[in-house]
Structure 1
């Protein structure tokens, strides 16, 4: 499968480009970016073509990986789907429900495959744990703390990201927490409560279709010594905690590429497809509405 990369920022450099170049069944053929110099620099470092016209890249490939801000991703994902390209997308799918729904409609209309990269869903240890807990019964409650130090540490490459500054932890790390909780506890019937904390920190309470409730604490402004992710489940089977993964983001993205290839080859939707990305977006938007009402 010939694949192109849309985006040249830190995440494209650190994760996407290395993963695409190392994948045994993906042919990494080119890069398009919004600025010419970084596009050429990234493309040259992997010996692929630098495109100055996104439509020219879409015409040359079977799929695209997207490492762009959510609003730009949503727009170009629709464009790529219309061009017949399978989609390897990042979270969050889009910054609004309307934009996320447009991506899903574009995917469905074109009949292309889609995978949204939620890191924990593509790391072997965490993926296996999620599957095991989803098969269990009787969960009573869940607790997720996803605390980053993006805005409080020194030299973080994502600290100057305009969309992260605008949307904060809810939209950046919130998708990670939801990608773990939803397949285990069931869909969120509603966001029962949402309250702001220090910095961009938010606290959410979810009511799940499986009968359990969960609490989420999300932040990009945690002290560096307090940063980290924890998910704990309590129920009839006892207490269990999400294991730490030894897999890098690059390795996880390679597995996401495997998922895209399988979905494209079989016609069966991946569990983390654009439709799941839309559902996550809907929950985030509901929480955002509650938070805006509380301020």
Structure 2
């Protein structure tokens, strides 16, 4: 599959470009970015072509991987799908439900495959745990803590403008939801959303399966306190999401495998654009409550 990369930032540099270059079943055709000089540098590093015209890249590929801020990603995803390109998207798909719906509509209209890179879902141990707990069922409650130090660790490469604007809710919130939804079921309502220190958000969710979950999300945690944990409690006892030290590149390679499979079979992947839309809708509901409770 011929694939192009949209984006030249730290995530594109650290994860996307190496994964696309190393994948045995992908032909890494080229890079487009909003900064042409960055596209030239990244393309040169990986022996591929820098494109100044995004439509020219879309015309030369079968698929695109997107590593751009979500508000930029959404519009380009619609454009790429309309050009017949399969989509390997980053989370969140968008930061408004309207934008995310436009992406899903374009994917369906063009009949292209889509996969959203919720990192944890492409880590083998974590994915197996999620499948096992979903099959077990009977969960009463869950607690998820996704704490990063992006804004408390000076010079952190991911302290990007969109993260400063949207905060932990939109950056790490999708990770937590990608674990909880397949286990506890869809969210019937966001029961509470309360701001904490810095960009910290604390949510209480009511799930269709009858369970409740609490989420603590932050990018301003002290570095010594950062980390991710998910714990379930129910009829079968207590279950904790296994820790993983695997880097992003192997997980992204597996996400590309998933895109290849969905494109080949026509069977939607569980982490497709429609799932990304549902995550966006939940986060948008939480954002409204946070705004009401701020100050």
Residue 134 of structure 2 is aligned to residue 129 of structure 1: no
SS, match of residue 104 in structure 1: helix
Q: Please identify runs of 4+ aligned residues in structure 1 that moved more than 3 A.
A: none
CA RMSD of aligned residues (A): 0.5
Task: Provide, for residues 119-176 of structure 1, a one-character-per-residue CA deviation record: whole Å limited to 9, x for no partner.
Answer: 00000010000010010121000000000000001221011x1110110000000000
Q: TM-score, normalised by structure 1?
A: 0.99
CA contact (8 A) 2:192 2:205 kept: yes
Task: Provide, for residues 11-47 of structure 1, a one-character-per-residue CA deviation record: whole Å limited to 9, x for no partner.
Answer: 0000000000011111111000011111000000111
CA contact (8 A) 2:19 2:252 kept: yes
Task: Provide, for residues 209-268 of structure 1, a one-character-per-residue CA deviation record: whole Å limited to 9, x for no partner.
Answer: 111000000000000000000000000010010001232100000000000000000000
> Paired residue for 1:165?
164
Residue 261 of structure 2 is aligned to residue 262 of structure 1: yes
Which structure 1 residue ranges, 5 or more long, are not aligned? none
Whole-angstrom CA distance in 1 between matches of 2:244 and 2:200: 24
Which structure 2 residue ranges, 5 or more long, are not aligned? none
Q: TM-score, normalised by structure 2?
A: 0.99
Task: Provide, for residues 181-200 of structure 1, a one-character-per-residue CA deviation record: whole Å limited to 9, x for no partner.
Answer: 00000000000000000000
SS, match of residue 145 in structure 2: strand
SS, match of residue 158 in structure 2: coil
> Paired residue for 2:215?
216
SS, match of residue 107 in structure 1: helix
Q: Within 5 Å, which residues of 2 pair with 1:281-292? A: 281-292=280-291
Whole-angstrom CA distance in 1 between matches of 2:117 and 2:292: 30
How many matched pairs?
294
Residue 38 of structure 2 is aligned to residue 38 of structure 1: yes
Residue 225 of structure 2 is aligned to residue 226 of structure 1: yes
> Paired residue for 2:151?
151
> Paired residue for 1:61?
61
Residue 293 of structure 2 is aligned to residue 280 of structure 1: no
> Paired residue for 1:180?
179
> Paired residue for 2:76?
76
Residue 204 of structure 2 is aligned to residue 194 of structure 1: no
